[in-house]
Amino acid sequence: MEAAVVDAGSKFLKAGPAIPDQAPSMMIPTHMKRMPEDGLLDDGSLSEDIIVDPVVRGYIRDWDAMEDLLHHVLYSGLGWEMGNEGQILFTDPLSTPKALANH
């Protein structure tokens, strides 16, 4: 499977195949609704939507939500197949301190 580039911003996640000079093929909002723990929806839970922002100011703050978002992007959006995954290149925010960027 081909490699993918993922740019996870605070408002949008951009992703696409790692092909030089090609624009991302996907751009979706990073905020999402969290489902109830039991997975069941009733009339009361529809009015109590919990909005989750996995990325805040360019940094991942909710890894569980980010994993769900990446699974959707890579497997549904970019067509990866289980057991035949490619490599991922994640971008860093411009303001990343050198001490963090080198890890």
pLDDT at 93: 77
Q: pLDDT value at position 44?
A: 56
Q: Residue 34 has what pLDDT?
A: 77
Q: What is the pLDDT along the chain (103 residues), one digit of tens a residue?
A: 789 999 998 899 999 999 999 999 999 999 888 776 665 656 555 556 788 999 988 788 999 999 999 999 999 999 999 999 999 999 887 777 776 666 5
Reference 52, options 38, 73, 67, 71; nearest CA is 67
Q: What architecture is domain 4-91?
A: 2-Layer Sandwich (3.30)
If you compute the radius of gyration of the chain from its CA atoms, what whole number of angstroms results? 16
Residue 3 pLDDT = 93
CB atoms within 10 A of CB 57: 9
* In the chain, beta strands by DSSP E: 4-8, 12-17, 26-29, 32-34, 50-52, 55-56, 59-60, 88-90
The structure's pTM equals: 0.76
Q: How many CA atoms lie within 13 A of 102 on its CB side?
A: 3
Which pLDDT does position 10 carry in this prediction?
86
